[in-house]
Amino acid sequence: MKHLYFLFLFISITCFGQLEPPAELQDYYSGIDFSETGLTLKTSLSNLTINKHTNILSYGWDAIQATDQNPSNASNVLLIYGWEDGSDSDCTNDLERNINLNGGSNCDYNREHIYAKSKATPAMDNTGPGADGHHIRASDVQRNGERDNLPFADGTGNSGKVNSNTNWYPGDNWKGDVARVIMYMYIRYENQCLPTNIGVGSSASTPDDMIDLFLEWNAEDPVSSYEDNRNAYHVSENTYAQGNRNPFIDNPYLATLIWGGPVAENRWSSLGVTDKSIVNIRMHPNPTTHNLVYFTTTEKLEVVVYNLLGKKIMSHTINNSKNFIDISILSKGVYLVKLNSNEVSITKKLIIQ
């Protein structure tokens, strides 16, 4: 049933026109047809990412010292999961550390596998995927040990254990980085690195093993200059460059086109787009237990509600004077809400609890 949902979703999304990478990325993505969506686009990006990975790194310090430098201070590396400027006595919270303080002692930094090695199928060692520079990050030794191999789960604020210490929240400022790493590992190593093995969430609304947790984090936490710098390093002539990029850093919206979910930032222009404003419309509350669903919009929209089999249930027009629909006739479950504005449309998922 979920495959029917995504077929319908991606037919709607393609109305926005084909994505066009910026000039500096067009050569790298020259073989990709960005009119594709869903698992077809995923396969194309997977093949590209695998084929471009021409330099298989060893598990050493040199690569991480080159890629994890603070863009504002090359003498330091940024520490994933960190947030504090070093002014308090707890070094485990530090956001950055001197690039030469690497090792295994307290207040050193070491190498964190974002996709925990033991959660892969089969498990990774420190070669191949276990040495992939896109998912190994500098991390405080003790904070890395505290995370251990805990699966990621949602939370708020700074990094730490959640759900009675059974899961790990990477922190508000790092959750997008983590999501995009997991997406990369999935398309690069496929079934060995399933998102369902490393995160707590549901794959019910995606066409494969992606989970809603990482789609939400990808949309909520935009790409940073640190991520861009790491990505650019790996396609340069540098000694420790792998040759491939993380496409979800280049454009988080690619995840939306493949798996749906919340609309992530689109960093590229689109060809043939007639109206982009509809993509930013918010439908709330969602999930809902109420009889009314509201839409934040300044334009006139046709709202059509379908069940997961594609059967039309209701249709309404909303505008500034009436920005809601009455869903009291609907039973609990998942529905598809298609928003039409002139010749442009997008489909959102509505959950009634």
Q: What is the DSSP letter of 77?
A: E
Same domain, 223 and 322: no
Same domain, 89 and 224: yes
CATH number of the domain bearing residue 297 = 2.60.40.3080
SS3 31: coil
Cα distance between residue 29 and residue 20, in whole Å: 10
Cα distance between residue 43 and residue 47, in whole Å: 6
Give how far Cα 285 sits from Cα of 227, 292, 293, Å: 32, 8, 6
Contacts of 77 (CB under 8 A, 6+ apart): 64, 65, 68, 69, 70, 96, 97, 99, 109, 138
Contacts of 133 (CB under 8 A, 6+ apart): 57, 63, 64, 67, 230, 234, 240, 242
- Which of 228, 256, 288 terminates a domain? The answer is 228
CB distance 228 to 252 below 8 Å: no
Same domain, 74 and 191: yes
pLDDT of residue 9: 41
pLDDT of residue 234: 96
303 in any annotated domain:
yes
Instruction: Give the count of beta carbons closer than 10 Å to the beta carbon of residue 151.
Output: 17
251 in any annotated domain:
no
253 in any annotated domain:
no
Same domain, 323 and 182: no
Give the HSE-up count for residue 348: Cα atoms under 13 Å, Cβ half-sphere. 20
Same domain, 90 and 197: yes
43 in any annotated domain:
no
| Best CA proximity match to 332, nearest among 279, 276, 271, 291 | 291
Same domain, 223 and 345: no
Same domain, 97 and 218: yes
| Best CA proximity match to 133, nearest among 256, 201, 10, 230 | 230
Q: Which domain holds residue 285?
A: 277-352
pLDDT of residue 271: 58
263 in any annotated domain:
no
pLDDT of residue 290: 87
| Best CA proximity match to 12, nearest among 311, 316, 336, 287 | 336
9 in any annotated domain:
no
Alpha helix positions (H), 14-68: 23-26, 38-52, 62-67
Same domain, 118 and 213: yes
pLDDT along the chain (353 residues), means of 10: 38 53 96 90 97 95 94 94 91 96 96 98 97 97 98 97 98 97 98 98 94 96 94 93 98 93 87 52 85 82 80 85 88 84 74 85
- Provide the whole-model pTM: 0.75
Same domain, 82 and 207: yes
80 in any annotated domain:
yes
SS3 69: strand
Same domain, 82 and 171: yes
- Domain count across the chain: 2
Same domain, 213 and 318: no
Same domain, 72 and 174: yes
Instruction: Give the count of beta carbons closer than 10 Å to the beta carbon of residue 152.
Output: 27
Cα distance between residue 213 and residue 210, in whole Å: 9
Tokens read off for 336: 């598809």
| Best CA proximity match to 235, nearest among 67, 58, 62 | 67
Report the residue count for the chain: 353
296 in any annotated domain:
yes
Beta pairing, strands 312-318 & 160-162: unpaired
| Best CA proximity match to 105, nearest among 122, 91, 119, 85 | 91
| Best CA proximity match to 48, nearest among 64, 32, 67, 33 | 32
